[in-house]
A and B are shown apart, each in its own frame.
Chain A
Amino acid sequence: MAGHDVIIVGAGHNGLVAAAYLARAGLDVLVCERASQVGGSLANTEICPGFIGASGAHDVTLMAPAIISDLNLSAFGLNFIPLPGRATLLRDGGYIGSYANTHQTACDIERYCHRDAERYRDYERHMARQRNLFKTLLMSPFPDIAMLGRDDHHLPEAVAKGLKAMGKDTMFEALTFWFRSCKDHLDQYFETDALKAHIAGPSFVGAPRGPFSPGTAYLLLHSQLGAHMQGLQGFVRGGTQKLGEALLSAVKTFGGKVLCDAEVSGVNLAKGAVVSVTLADGSVHEAKSIVSNLDLKRTFLTLFDWEALSDPLLAQVGHFRMQGSVANMNIALDGLPEFPGLPDGCPLLAGRLNFTASLSDMERAFDCWKDSRTPDYPPLEVTLPSLSDPSLCPPGKHVLSIHIQYIPNHLMAGNWDDEKKEALAVRVLSLVAEHSPNLKDLILGWTLDVPPDLEDKFALTGGDIHHGDMSLDQLLFNRPLPGYTNHRTPFKNFYMCGASTHPGGGVMGAPGALAARSVLNDLGYAGS
């Protein structure tokens, strides 16, 4: 059987983005996906009949606008709903809100602290400079730092230009910013504890680290990367699965083939080069290039014979940190839950809601995670997508989704079981009900996935939704491993395109797009 140009292992959104770019360039592309549907961690779930929840990602604020337009995804039925902003509801009944507009957010903060409102403008200006630098890094392959300065290794032009235009002061700011803890960074600007927690909240979803951990300031930036690039994409109409489906249509339209229920059990080597994949049904498919959408550990530890992995590689992959820290809950509701902490007519109800009042509270919850216990007060991120997307449930009913943070994969008290999950769900519902008195009366049904469930459902090692901790030792020139930047690997013809690679996790598409670029370059399609 004639080989393909490229086989992509896994049809997560990054695999599909890579496939779409490669097929569009005229290559013969085959995508093999283990599950019966595409999209990976972009998946809808039926909470109870007629109610669609998100079993993976809730929103797609990070999705790169350039990819949306390059691949013409709107033509394939993709429809975004902007998020109006976020609110943190406080125990005393007040709230802190942020909006797309910095000035409006500063006005909100003004109610609590004049000083912090002024500082917020500073903070946003700093972030704007960092985003501006990062924007260039995000859409260009990261240089191999060990090779820089050698004869024919230069910073990619865009990066060099970005660094040059940044100026000395911003460069110094960047260098300290990347290493600092979120707490230290926010302490530089703000006094109000609740405001710091409000700003940090969404950045820590999926991070197995607390705001006091060094290097976590970067997470503040990562969670802003998409939204501020220009687009206003928040939710996907019909649920995030629709993004996977739109990508699938794009791949097919460009001539790519996608096989579902086609788990890849191994890749086959000849003289140090990868030449084919073997599916679980035993069939072998050849290709000039093979791209893995799996996380780093699954890529090397499940697709290769371990003997083939050289000594440091096996150890490095083994030491790559992938740890689950998020549980995901969806609730079907008989009506609109009230949140009296928000004034009538507040647009933020359709955005994201948090309840954590201080960074210390977050850190204490993280301490529990370290001890393999579920925290009593896990930080929660609540969304009511049905408010802006009535197609998710019957008229007048609602769907509520919750990211529950710092939920460990393994529990000191034994494995996760239904009883422990039930206890967590009850706890979470009562925490939300503190801010929503009528919530409990409205519940028609719920689902809860803890990290081991996410591992089973989405093939995420350790249940880590970002395919690996996003700390500086695993980011930028270190993602996935030092020396393997540009989405290439030690094996000839073998690439990676998932969230384990630069620029990292979340629904962004950038790893897939960058991987496609490297494949095209190596196959001599540099011009396309």
Chain B
Amino acid sequence: MSNSPHPWQEAVRPSPFHGAAASHSLTNEWLRRGAYTVADVYSTVEQEYDALRAGAGLVDHSPLNKVRISGKNARPFLNRLLTGNADDLPLRQSLSSLFCNDAGHVIGLARLLRVHVEEYHLYTEENHTSWLWDTAKGYNDIQIDNFTHDTGVLGIFGRQAADILLAAGADGAEELEPSHHDAFMLRQARLRILKTMLMGEPGYYLYVDPKDALLVWETLMKAGEAHGLAPVGRRAQDICRIEAGELRAGTDFIGALEAVHGNRPRSPFECGLDALVDLEKDHFVGLRALSHGAHNQKRTSIVCLRVEGTEAVTGARILSNGQLIGVVTSSAWSPSLGHVAALATVAAGNARPGEVVQIEFFTTNELEPETRKLEAIIVEK
């Protein structure tokens, strides 16, 4: 403790992979995510995008919030917390899910890993630890600890990801089924590997002890040399995420606990995450609110847009017949789709694919103010 930096110096810290990431960074462009800085761009957005789509990309997801939930009651607790069925999640498998408050508003999206019979890891974009504590009140024999700073998270995604992992020497990892995970050795490093999809690409998450972070990074980079592996920063990841229609908490919707204004939180249905909600379950937090017709009471919908032009339009207003109906929350030029792809929140009833809407925003062109008006079309997610 005495050697560690003072609190006013360590509020934002480098990720465990920083040393390696910095040596690959040609741009020195960093971005704050949660309690960490991660690379925004390593080389060029285009090169990184291309690596991810054509070969494989190495992504540093260490800022993810990580919570260990263990004890006899971990299972019933998690089943009560998550909208999906966590009750018969087998050992070494994982579940993508979300959790709500009593009002049926989404608090966050989560990935749950069962690592031992009575131990689970929960990964979320934002920190909800004290909500978990509150929800666990009344359960005995349950421990909930945030271990965000004790684990680095490295993702390797893209069609070459499996070959690279094999070449790196993570023996057996190539046999993992989707959403399965297990403990492996990569050289001297013990780590857990999960097979999953992200940004529309198959790949793996590696959960790494920070002391092994640089070793794991370099081992993968070396093994990936012949497979087109490149580290991919947040900007290129964002393009792929938007193309795949993946929402990010705090960006595409406001979590119910974070919202300052009471009318900002959204139901899973309003987020288009119906598939993650199991209304047949006996119980989960928010079930009552959600099973009472929340389907029909959607105030807003999250939609994908195909926008005219080439520039990002995040924050732009969306109009239909001159009426303001929503806002663009994420957007980027998509090299593979050949148009600007966007995620947007629009008033319910305006979400039909094929519908044409107007996009409007203010910008400057070499300091000349301009009002930009573009057309966009709502597309199937």
| Residues of A in contact with B (beta carbons under 8 Å apart) | 97, 99, 101, 103-104, 107-108, 110-111, 114-115, 118-119, 121-122, 125, 128-129, 132, 164-171, 343, 345-348
| A170–B127 CA distance with the chains assembled, in angstroms | 20
Interface residues of B in 251-269 (CB under 8 A from A): 257-258, 260-263, 265
Contact B11 A103 (CB under 8 A): yes
Q: Which of B131, B146, B262, B265 contacts A114 (CB 8 A)?
A: B146
Contact A103 B35 (CB under 8 A): yes
Contact A166 B262 (CB under 8 A): yes
B363 to chain A, nearest CB (A): 25
Interface residues of B in 138-171 (CB under 8 A from A): 146
B74 to chain A, nearest CB (A): 19
User: Which single residue of chain A is at the shortest CB-CB distance from B256?
Assistant: A169
Contact A99 B261 (CB under 8 A): no
Contact B8 A97 (CB under 8 A): yes
Greatest chain B CB density within 10 A among A111, A118, A348 is at: A118
Contact B7 A132 (CB under 8 A): no
Q: Contacts A108-B7, A111-B7 hold; do A169 and B127 have CB atoms under 8 A apart?
A: no
| A103–B12 CA distance with the chains assembled, in angstroms | 9
| A343–B1 CA distance with the chains assembled, in angstroms | 13
Residues of B within 8 A of A114 (CB): 146
Q: Contacts A118-B146, A168-B262, A169-B262 hold; do A107 and B129 have CB atoms under 8 A apart?
A: no
28 pairs, A vs B, C-beta closer than 8 Å: A97-B8, A103-B11, A104-B7, A107-B10, A107-B35, A108-B7, A111-B1, A111-B7, A114-B146, A118-B129, A118-B133, A118-B146, A122-B130, A122-B131, A122-B257, A125-B257, A125-B258, A125-B260, A128-B260, A129-B260, A132-B260, A132-B261, A164-B263, A167-B261, A169-B262, A343-B6, A345-B6, A346-B6
The answer, yes or no, to whether B103 is at the interface (CB within 8 Å) is: yes
Greatest chain A CB density within 10 A among B12, B127, B130, B263 is at: B130
| A473–B348 CA distance with the chains assembled, in angstroms | 44
| A122–B260 CA distance with the chains assembled, in angstroms | 12
| A132–B263 CA distance with the chains assembled, in angstroms | 13
User: Which single residue of chain A is at the shortest CB-CB distance from B32?
Assistant: A103
A103 to chain B, nearest CB (A): 5
Contact A104 B8 (CB under 8 A): yes
Q: Nearest 8 A-B pairs (CB), nearest first?
A: A167-B262, A108-B7, A104-B11, A118-B130, A118-B129, A107-B7, A107-B11, A166-B262
Residues of A within 8 A of B10 (CB): 107
B361 to chain A, nearest CB (A): 24
| A129–B265 CA distance with the chains assembled, in angstroms | 13
User: Which single residue of chain B is at the shortest CB-CB distance from A116?
Assistant: B130
Q: Which of A110, A125, A166 contacts B261 (CB 8 A)?
A: A166
Q: Which of A97, A122, A168, A170 contacts B7 (CB 8 A)?
A: A97
Interface residues of B in 1-45 (CB under 8 A from A): 1, 6-8, 10-12, 35
B189 to chain A, nearest CB (A): 27
Interface residues of B in 103-130 (CB under 8 A from A): 103, 127, 129-130
Contact A121 B127 (CB under 8 A): yes
User: Which single residue of chain A is at the shortest CB-CB distance from B7?
Assistant: A108
| Residues of B in contact with A (beta carbons under 8 Å apart) | 1, 6-8, 10-12, 35, 103, 127, 129-131, 133, 146, 257-258, 260-263, 265
A332 to chain B, nearest CB (A): 29
| A306–B271 CA distance with the chains assembled, in angstroms | 65
B6 to chain A, nearest CB (A): 6
Q: Which of B12, B133, B146, B263 contacts A165 (CB 8 A)?
A: B263
User: Which single residue of chain B is at the shortest CB-CB distance from A128?
Assistant: B260
Contact B262 A170 (CB under 8 A): yes
With A107-B35, A345-B6 given, name 15 new contacts (CB 8 A).
Answer: A99-B8, A101-B11, A103-B35, A107-B11, A111-B1, A114-B146, A115-B130, A118-B146, A122-B257, A129-B260, A165-B262, A167-B261, A169-B262, A343-B6, A346-B6
Residues of A within 8 A of B131 (CB): 122
| A97–B12 CA distance with the chains assembled, in angstroms | 16
| A431–B263 CA distance with the chains assembled, in angstroms | 49
User: Which single residue of chain A is at the shortest CB-CB distance from B127?
Assistant: A121
User: Which single residue of chain B is at the shortest CB-CB distance from A109?
Assistant: B7
Q: Which of A107, A118, A165, A348 contacts B127 (CB 8 A)?
A: A118
Contact A110 B130 (CB under 8 A): no
User: Which single residue of chain B is at the shortest CB-CB distance from A106?
Assistant: B11
Residues of B within 8 A of A97 (CB): 7-8
B10 to chain A, nearest CB (A): 6
A231 to chain B, nearest CB (A): 18
Greatest chain A CB density within 10 A among B131, B261, B265 is at: B261
Q: Contacts A118-B129, A125-B258 hold; do A347 and B103 have CB atoms under 8 A apart?
A: no
| A111–B6 CA distance with the chains assembled, in angstroms | 10
Residues of A within 8 A of B261 (CB): 132, 165-167
| A285–B60 CA distance with the chains assembled, in angstroms | 74
| A129–B256 CA distance with the chains assembled, in angstroms | 12
Residues of A within 8 A of B1 (CB): 111
| A167–B259 CA distance with the chains assembled, in angstroms | 11
| A169–B265 CA distance with the chains assembled, in angstroms | 12
Contact B127 A346 (CB under 8 A): no
B346 to chain A, nearest CB (A): 20
Residues of A within 8 A of B103 (CB): 168-169
Residues of A within 8 A of B146 (CB): 114, 118
A118 to chain B, nearest CB (A): 4
| A108–B130 CA distance with the chains assembled, in angstroms | 17
Greatest chain A CB density within 10 A among B8, B10, B146, B260 is at: B8
B15 to chain A, nearest CB (A): 16
A496 to chain B, nearest CB (A): 32
Greatest chain A CB density within 10 A among B7, B10, B12, B35 is at: B7
Contact A119 B130 (CB under 8 A): yes
User: Which single residue of chain B is at the shortest CB-CB distance from A132?
Assistant: B260
| A115–B145 CA distance with the chains assembled, in angstroms | 9
| A287–B127 CA distance with the chains assembled, in angstroms | 59
Residues of A within 8 A of B8 (CB): 97, 99, 104, 108, 346-348
| A371–B10 CA distance with the chains assembled, in angstroms | 46
| A107–B131 CA distance with the chains assembled, in angstroms | 18
User: Which single residue of chain A is at the shortest CB-CB distance from B103?
Assistant: A169
Residues of A within 8 A of B262 (CB): 129, 165-171
B134 to chain A, nearest CB (A): 9
Residues of A within 8 A of B7 (CB): 97, 104, 107-108, 110-111
| A132–B8 CA distance with the chains assembled, in angstroms | 27
Residues of B within 8 A of A107 (CB): 7, 10-11, 35
A286 to chain B, nearest CB (A): 48
B265 to chain A, nearest CB (A): 8
| A125–B255 CA distance with the chains assembled, in angstroms | 12
Greatest chain B CB density within 10 A among A115, A129, A169, A348 is at: A169
User: Which single residue of chain B is at the shortest CB-CB distance from A130?
Assistant: B260
Residues of A within 8 A of B12 (CB): 103
A128 to chain B, nearest CB (A): 5
| A348–B6 CA distance with the chains assembled, in angstroms | 12
| A132–B262 CA distance with the chains assembled, in angstroms | 11
User: Which single residue of chain A is at the shortest CB-CB distance from B13?
Assistant: A107
Residues of B within 8 A of A165 (CB): 261-263
A82 to chain B, nearest CB (A): 15
Residues of A within 8 A of B133 (CB): 115, 118
Residues of A within 8 A of B263 (CB): 164-165, 167
| A289–B326 CA distance with the chains assembled, in angstroms | 48
Residues of A within 8 A of B130 (CB): 115, 118-119, 121-122
Residues of A within 8 A of B35 (CB): 103, 107
B250 to chain A, nearest CB (A): 13
| A170–B265 CA distance with the chains assembled, in angstroms | 12
| A527–B265 CA distance with the chains assembled, in angstroms | 37
B85 to chain A, nearest CB (A): 27
User: Which single residue of chain B is at the shortest CB-CB distance from A84?
Assistant: B8
Residues of A within 8 A of B257 (CB): 122, 125
Residues of B within 8 A of A121 (CB): 127, 130
| A102–B257 CA distance with the chains assembled, in angstroms | 15
| A168–B263 CA distance with the chains assembled, in angstroms | 9
